[in-house]
Structure 1
Amino acid sequence: MATWNLDTTKHHVLICNGSSCNRFGAEEVTQAIRSEIANQELDPYIHTTRTRCNGRCHDKCVVISYPDGIWYKDVKPQDSQELINSLKKDQPFVEKISHTFCEEGFQRTEGTVKGISKEKETVIKVSKKL
């Protein structure tokens, strides 16, 4: 197992590889993003991590960029160059943003599905157990 030196890392890109995203090409998205990072020789600055489900299955394939706190939706392999270029320039890939984290919390981009409330899910699960 590798232990990466993250001293020069500016962006951490989380790539959902949950079941819904995988059915819609998450592996191809992962490989395309990693290839683009390598092609632009940005490995010291952009670190990627494959995740399991990030809970936004409707937005598949989901990619999240930190420390920006930007969640991207509907990412395809052909978007990898523009995504990596946007990170390199420290500018968001506006066309694919679903949510942006700010002081007030997450701000949903117009046209992005709101989703179900976590509170309702928790209440339903707890009441079923009782």
Structure 2
Amino acid sequence: MTTWNLAGMKSHVFICNGSSCMRKGAEDITLAIRDEIALLDLDEQIHTTRTRCNGRCKDACIVIAYPQGSWYKASNTEIAREIVRNCITQENNQHAIYNMKDGKMILNSKVASITGIDKKK
């Protein structure tokens, strides 16, 4: 097993590789994100981790960027590459399902996604 030194990283990108996301192209999304990081020479600034299900299967493929706290619907490789660029500018793009604001997740109504099941019940 590899143990990465993450000192100095500016962003950590989690890429869902759960079964629903994999059926909707998560492998290509993962490769596009990692390729864009390499093309922009950002390997020492952005770390990626493949995850299992992140609980937003109907919005597959899900990509989460921290410390921004943005959850993205990456439906193609160009969106995946744009997410990498946004990690550097620390901006949220139009493909973010959720953005952090004042320490809370805020649903972006401009992105076609489902609200989901209320966790308060």
Partner of 1:97: 96
Q: In structure 2, how many angstroms separate the alpha carbons of the residues matched to 1:79 and 1:104?
A: 25
Q: Could you say what secondary structure the match of 1:101 adopts?
A: strand
Once the two structures are superposed, what CA deviation does each residue of 1:8-59 show, in whole Å capped at 9, x if it has no partner?
A: 1000000011111000000110011001101111010000000100001111
- The percent identity for this pair of structures is 46
Contact 1:63–1:75 (Cα < 8 Å) also in 2: no
Q: In structure 2, how many angstroms separate the alpha carbons of the residues matched to 1:53 and 1:82?
A: 22
Structure 1 segment 48-59 matched on structure 2, within 5 A: 48-59=48-59
Contact 2:14–2:48 (Cα < 8 Å) also in 1: yes
Q: In structure 2, how many angstroms separate the alpha carbons of the residues matched to 1:59 and 1:70?
A: 14
Larger radius of gyration: 1
Q: Provide the aligned C-alpha RMSD in A.
A: 1.5
Structure (1 or 2) with the greater helix fraction? 1
Corresponding letter in the other structure for 1:39: L
Residue 32 (structure 2) pairs with residue 32 (structure 1): yes
Corresponding letter in the other structure for 2:86: S
Structure 1 residues 119 and 51: alpha-carbon distance in aligned structure 2, compared to 1, 3 A threshold: same
Unpaired runs of 5+ residues, structure 1, are 121-130
Per the TM alignment, residue 119 of structure 1 is displaced from its structure 2 partner at its CA by 4.6
Unpaired runs of 5+ residues, structure 2, are none
Contact 2:13–2:46 (Cα < 8 Å) also in 1: yes
Partner of 1:116: 117
Q: In structure 2, how many angstroms separate the alpha carbons of the residues matched to 1:25 and 1:88?
A: 24
Q: In structure 2, how many angstroms separate the alpha carbons of the residues matched to 1:14 and 1:6?
A: 14
Partner of 1:46: 46
Q: Could you say what secondary structure the match of 1:54 adopts?
A: coil
Structure 1 segment 3-18 matched on structure 2, within 5 A: 3-18=3-18
Q: Could you say what secondary structure the match of 1:43 adopts?
A: coil
